[in-house]
Amino acid sequence: MPTLSVIIPTFNEEHYIADALHSVQFADEILVVDSMSTDKTVQIAKSFGARVLPRKFDNFSNQKNHALSYATGDWILFVDADERITFPLKKEIYDAMEKGTHTAYKLNFPHFFMNRFLYHHDNDVTRLVLREKCHFEGLVHEKLIVDGSIGKLKTPVLHFTYKGLGHYIGKKDSYAWFQAEQLLKKNKKVTYFHLAFKPFYRFFSSYILRGGFLDGIPGLAIASINAYGVFSRYAKLMLLKKNMS
């Protein structure tokens, strides 16, 4: 039977990490790459038998590539602290590993926001992969580069995405700074197209095209904040260009 390593990146996740670790106890190895947490995250991780890899955060890709260099399993499953692997998904993961039809597999993530799962605001993300066939690139929305074919598992991950409205907006602001810095390095120009049309289209895509309106008020809130995130990215780029950050 192929072996499995689980990699969990953390920073001050004491309220979430225990349930995540409990849900992946079936793995042969659990690695927690921790960005120097100041709460009880590390102690909790160690109490579950996880190997903790402390590393000062510079970007998301480097954190995960660092953990990959320590992993020993044939397959890697990437899990965040606010995610839970259910028993049916565990079975599907092991079936996929044993058959080895693909090099990697996407998992489905319906987002949890305002006390409900939003099934019209979900993502398919590559999270299960052969260890020797992958690496990460990118600073913010890191991309898993896979050398081979990618399949998809059916059972969703329980993803308790946002800890509240303020947390979600704060997360968007944090990502926007990273993205603005990337765009600045590429000498990207900012126009009214970026400040007006792109945020509008993000709202339209999330709320209308993807059916976010079917998720009620939470769907409207998600679409609005996503549009704000796009606007914020380019507004911050303008500030960086004028040395006003």
Shared-domain flag, residues 111 and 147: yes
Cα–Cα distance for residue pair 82/160, rounded to 1 Å: 5
39 and 137 housed in the same domain:
yes
The verdict on 174 and 126 lying in the same domain is: no
Q: Which residue has the higher pLDDT, 212 or 38?
A: 38
**Sign of the Cα pseudo-torsion (37, 69, 123, 207, in order):** positive
- Domain boundary (118, 137, 159) is at 159
CA distances from 42 to 30, 32, 130, 219 (A): 13, 8, 27, 34
Q: 134 and 26, same structural domain? A: yes
Total structural domains in the chain? 2
**Cα of 135 vs its chain's centroid, Å:** 15
Binning pLDDT at 50, 70 and 90, where does residue 134 land? very high
Share of the chain above pLDDT 70, in %: 98
Nearest to 219 by CA among 116, 123, 83: 116
Q: Which residue has the higher pLDDT, 127 or 159?
A: 127
Segments in 102-158 forming alpha helices (H): none
Residue 221 has pLDDT above 70, yes or no: yes
pLDDT at residue 140, rounded to an integer? 65
Handedness of CA 156, 179, 215, 19 (dihedral sign): positive
- Give Cα 70 to chain centroid, integer Å: 20
Q: What is the pLDDT of residues 52-69, one digit of tens each?
A: 999 999 989 999 999 999
* Containing structural domain, residue 228: 165-241
